[in-house]
Structure 1
Amino acid sequence: MTGRFALTRRLPDGYFDDALHTDVLKGLTGRPKSLPPKWFYDARGSELFEEITRLPEYYPTRAEHGILLERADDIAAATGARTLVELGSGSSRKTRLLLDSLLRHGTLEHYAALDVSADALVAAGEALCRDYPDLRVTACVTDLETDPGMPPGVRGPRLVAFLGGTLGNLDGDARPAFYARLRRELVPGDSLLMGVDLVKDPGTLVPAYDDAQGVTAEFNKNVLRVLNRELGAAFDLDAFRHRAVWNAEEERVEMRLVSLRGQTVPLPALEMSAEFEEGEEVLTEIAVKFRREVLGSELARAGFEMSHWWTDDGGRFALLLAEPSGTGGP
């Protein structure tokens, strides 16, 4: 507890060390090699991502903010939420649009955030406590990939917000499992609000992940900095280059790191070395792009019914509102 802000932890001691070791061992011994995108986000990685959201090529943040600016009052009226539960600590600007609309609507009592980063939760939570003195603010440190469960003491109706297009980081196998875990938590009267990036011209999509200033390239390479620091690895960042490609079959952008030469990289903490051939690629992030009908079908199979669909003027990004259906789901 810091002032009015209450923080709880659902992860055991050593969770992140164990998870990092497991992910890197599995990813760098697999074919093809891969590393999960959650390891981008140390303090430096978070700063770089905030910089990315301000780049001219990176439209999703601006598009989502524009929709929320126009539709937040509609969301408040449709949900009547007593509690806003945010998966991920969230952008202060986007979170506050929802908070302000729900407070104007006269229903909101509680804001609860779930995220893997205690630092991000504390920074956001203390700022909200300062600026919303009558709002109960709590947070929980957890891994959203495996445990998006609702925090205790959360009154309904609840609005669960999963914004920023983060759903796109889950592939076709991971999304049904994620929906199923949420569906077990939610009851009739609750709502799910998601921001999703839409399928469009690759000429718009790819530059959003490969900007002219090279900020996304530095962000991508930051995962190697994390491995060097946390695992005592010896990655030479100049021996890899950033690459973003449109995978038309899977309808997703893929970020990769390409080895510029044959090399062997020691990882002392794992008692192993990783071998790279010249030109070999490491998949570091997927960003799935969605179509309304496909997403609606996915949600219906998981026991949700989509009730609202809003897009920006250019049809690039969408916010959707869904509710647990009376039948179906796990």
Structure 2
Amino acid sequence: MNVHTPALAKAHRFDEPTSVFARDVIHDLSRAPKRLSPKYFYDATGSELFEQITVLPEYYPTRTELSILRNRSRAISSIVPDGAALVEFGAGSTTKVRLLLGECRLGAYVPVDISGEFLNAQAQALRADYPGLAIHPVTADFTAAFELPEAVRDMPKVGFFPGSTLGNFEPGEACKFLKSARTILGKGARMVIGVDLEKDERTLYDAYNDTAGVTARFNLNVLHRINRELGGDFDVGAFIHRAVYNRDRHRIEMHLISKKALTAEVLGQKFSFRPGESIHTENSYKYSIDRFALLARVSGWSLLQSWTDEAGLFSVHALEASD
């Protein structure tokens, strides 16, 4: 890591989240091979692009999970105690949570996301449709410890983590996140979580290499974000999106591949790229029901129930914190 990064960040008058972004970018691009964390996809532009991805014909996870939440909403909502605070980790569009709001008698809804602008816009829209529901958005990195609002401290807690975001974590990191969520939610907590399942490689490949190129723009946006927020000078057009399935590790890998030899500068630190060199931006692990149940168990949760679609593409699980 560039030892001058803290001073450079201070000179640029960065706020704390941007300073953390700067630190992580410098650190991860200094590694071999180079990496960037997928959590930095989700600025306002990235969040909007991801919402576009969710409705692409090739991208099965969102519509499949929605069908499970819609068809099983009564059974899923039965694990949510009356008066509970529903805490959504990595809240994006409110489409999924609305399917539970119609079935649950919540005391509060707490959406948590790193993209504050997008988060607050979604919370405001939800308030208009549910004026009697207390909504307390929290702008935070949900992968790290954060404080829940004082207003929900004494309510029973239920975590909500839809989508296939758990698959973006390395298995050890997924375990760490589930342990952290258990601590944040507290004793007796429950959780509803979406998990993508193993399936044929063609379906997986197509889902992350859509013909409209939206996923490519989503991936490349992280370089645009570095340029916008950190004064970087990446030639974004010199990189291409690539997503491949790693069969041995049960995961899709997303990369940004340099088309030529080039140098990019971020906060005074220069990074050289060879032709064909990759920045590894995301993994998306796929689980079997049994492997996820084991992960949950070693992370301090017991599996209450699981639901899948008829084709077995996706799964939703109800968990309870172990004593």
For residues 71 and 148 of structure 1, do their structure 2 counterparts lie closer, same or farther at Cα, with a shift above 3 Å needed? farther
| Partner amino acid, structure 2, of 1:100 | G
TM-score, normalization: structure 1? 0.89
Partner residue in 2 for 1:4: none
Contact 1:67 1:319 in 2 (8 A): yes
- Residues of 1 paired with 2:186 and 2:23: CA distance? 34
- 1:279 lines up with 2:283 in the alignment: no
For residues 299 and 81 of structure 1, do their structure 2 counterparts lie closer, same or farther at Cα, with a shift above 3 Å needed? farther
Q: For residues 114-133 of structure 1, what are the structure 2 equivalents within 5 Å?
A: 114-133=112-131
Instruction: Determine which of 298, 305, 308 is the counterpart of 1:308.
Output: 305
Contact 1:156 1:190 in 2 (8 A): no
Q: For residues 93-104 of structure 1, what are the structure 2 equivalents within 5 Å?
A: 93-102=95-104
- Residues of 2 paired with 1:173 and 1:31: CA distance? 20
Which string of whole-angstrom CA distances, capped at 9 and with x for unpartnered residues, describes residues 185-207 of structure 1? 34454211101111111110111
Partner residue in 2 for 1:325: 322
Which string of whole-angstrom CA distances, capped at 9 and with x for unpartnered residues, describes residues 122-160 of structure 1? 112211211112111111111111125533332433221
Partner residue in 2 for 1:292: 289
Instruction: Determine which of 130, 137, 140 is the counterpart of 1:139.
Output: 137
Q: For residues 1-330 of structure 1, what are the structure 2 equivalents within 5 Å?
A: 14-82=15-83, 83-102=85-104, 107-154=105-152, 155-187=154-186, 189-267=188-266, 269=267, 271-326=268-323
For residues 40 and 188 of structure 1, do their structure 2 counterparts lie closer, same or farther at Cα, with a shift above 3 Å needed? closer
- Residues of 2 paired with 1:214 and 1:131: CA distance? 33
Contact 1:197 1:318 in 2 (8 A): yes
With 154-163 and 92-101 compared, the bigger mean Cα shift is at 154-163
For residues 291 and 150 of structure 1, do their structure 2 counterparts lie closer, same or farther at Cα, with a shift above 3 Å needed? farther
- Residues of 1 paired with 2:290 and 2:209: CA distance? 28
- Residues of 1 paired with 2:317 and 2:294: CA distance? 13
Could you say what secondary structure the match of 2:306 adopts?
Answer: strand
Residue 323 of structure 1: how far off its partner (Å):
0.2
Residue 109 of structure 1: how far off its partner (Å):
2.0
Partner residue in 1 for 2:4: none
For residues 190 and 166 of structure 1, do their structure 2 counterparts lie closer, same or farther at Cα, with a shift above 3 Å needed? same
Contact 1:87 1:148 in 2 (8 A): no
- Residues of 2 paired with 1:187 and 1:263: CA distance? 49
Where does the alignment leave 5 or more consecutive residues of structure 2 unmatched? 1-13
Contact 2:89 2:161 in 1 (8 A): yes
TM-score, normalization: structure 2? 0.91
Residue 246 of structure 1: how far off its partner (Å):
0.6
- Residues of 2 paired with 1:167 and 1:258: CA distance? 25
- Residues of 2 paired with 1:66 and 1:148: CA distance? 31
Identity of aligned residues (%): 40
Could you say what secondary structure the match of 1:137 adopts?
Answer: coil
Could you say what secondary structure the match of 1:101 adopts?
Answer: coil
Residue 25 of structure 1: how far off its partner (Å):
1.0
Which string of whole-angstrom CA distances, capped at 9 and with x for unpartnered residues, describes residues 201-240 of structure 1? 1110111111111111111111111111122222112211
Could you say what secondary structure the match of 1:173 adopts?
Answer: helix
With 141-150 and 48-57 compared, the bigger mean Cα shift is at 141-150
Residue 116 of structure 1: how far off its partner (Å):
1.1
Contact 1:241 1:258 in 2 (8 A): yes
Q: CA RMSD in A?
A: 1.5
Residue 119 of structure 1: how far off its partner (Å):
1.3
Partner residue in 1 for 2:7: none
Where does the alignment leave 5 or more consecutive residues of structure 1 unmatched? 1-12
Partner residue in 1 for 2:10: none
In the alignment of these two chains, the number of paired residues is 308
- Residues of 2 paired with 1:189 and 1:232: CA distance? 46
Could you say what secondary structure the match of 2:55 adopts?
Answer: coil
| Partner amino acid, structure 2, of 1:36 | S
Could you say what secondary structure the match of 2:125 adopts?
Answer: helix
